[in-house]
A and B are shown apart, each in its own frame.
Chain A
Amino acid sequence: MTARIAAAPVRKSIRVKANQAKAFTVFTASIGQWWPKSHHIGTAPMKTAYIEPFQGGRWYHVSEDGSEYDNGFVRVWQPPQRVVLTWRLNAQFQLDDDVDSEIDIRFVPDGDGTRVELEHRVTAIDAETIAAAVASPGGWPDILRIYADAAQGN
């Protein structure tokens, strides 16, 4: 009944002049220092962000007004090689349990630096939820099923 749409993953790679341990630490412990402040959930401006350093930990933003917003949780915690975070983001950059995406980040030693490989998998979007959210005329679930069939056939 419910169509699930899987989009092809977004892959990124960047080399940083920092060793593996440092790259991992800056990515996780210092996420509040570099996460773009323009991209966050919640209404108040973002102050900082945290990733709790263990499997099952939360990762969340703290707004200027002190309120906290959960982005998701730590699915894999393997310092200093890999961290996988879930991220429940939707079209409005808001919390949404029906949108399931995960960010898989690997830290690979590369000479005197580290190559950071990121894969963001939007694993499933509930088509009917999107249909309801967009509040368009009927027929959305069908359209999205067509889309899902096409996406999976390739």
Chain B
Amino acid sequence: MTYGRSLEALADPTRRKVFERLRHGRLPVSRIAKGLPVSRPAVSQHLKVLKEAGLVREERDGTRRIYEIDPKGLGQLRRWLDEFWNEALEAFRAEAEKEPKIGDAKK
């Protein structure tokens, strides 16, 4: 419902560190995990949460997974707006096709 989730995803300090590692560009999981005080599966889990929050995106290179910051912006907000407008425009269409009098110049 809100894009607060993008920000909530970053409230975890380790997850924030994971996110910060991507500031200079895309990295494979192994490089992201290097030097962090958590296991690699844990890092993968953090990346999954970041991905679900729309903050990072994932690419596969063979068996490797490469991550980068999703440049599309605050993904959660966009997703929310996307759904909102689908609903709103459908309602608008129903209304536009229902009211025969208002502004209708058709013969």
Q: How far is the CA of A114 from the CA of B96 in the complex (A)?
A: 10
In the complex, chain B residues 53-92 whose Cβ is within 8 Å of any chain A Cβ: 55, 68-69, 71-74, 77-78, 81-82, 84-92
Question: In the assembled complex, which residues on chain A have CB atoms less than 8 Å from the CB atom of B10?
Answer: 136, 140, 143
Partner of A14, one of B23, B73, B81, B89: B89
Chain B contributes a number of interface residues (CB within 8 A of A) equal to 44
Contact across chains for B102 and A19 when beta carbons are under 8 A apart: no
Tell me the residues in window 1-44 of chain A with beta carbons closer than 8 Å to chain B beta carbons. Answer: 5-8, 10, 12, 14, 16-19, 21-27, 29-30, 33-36, 39
Query: Does A153 touch B at the CB level, under 8 Å?
Result: yes
Tell me the minimal C-beta distance from A93 to chain B in angstroms.
8
Expressed in whole angstroms, the Cα–Cα distance for A140 and B19 within the complex equals 12
Asked if B99 and A26 make an inter-chain contact with CB atoms under 8 angstroms apart, the answer reads yes
CB closest chain-B residue, reference A38: B87
Per the bound structure, the CA–CA distance linking A146 and B10 in Å amounts to 12
Where chain B touches its partner, the secondary structure class is: helix
- Given A34-B92, A35-B91, A136-B7, answer yes or no on A122-B103 (Cβ-Cβ < 8 Å): no
Interface pair B20/A146, CB less than 8 Å apart: yes
B91 contacts A34, CB within 8 Å? yes
Give every chain A residue within 8 A of B84 (Cβ-Cβ): 36, 39
A16 close to B2 (CB less than 8 A): no
State in angstroms the CA–CA spacing of A23 and B94 once bound together. Answer: 11
Interface mask (A124-154 → B, CB under 8 Å = 1, otherwise 0): 0100001000101101100100110111011
Q: Which residues of B contact A (CB under 8 A)?
A: 2-4, 7-8, 10-11, 13, 16, 19-20, 22-23, 55, 68-69, 71-74, 77-78, 81-82, 84-97, 99, 102-106
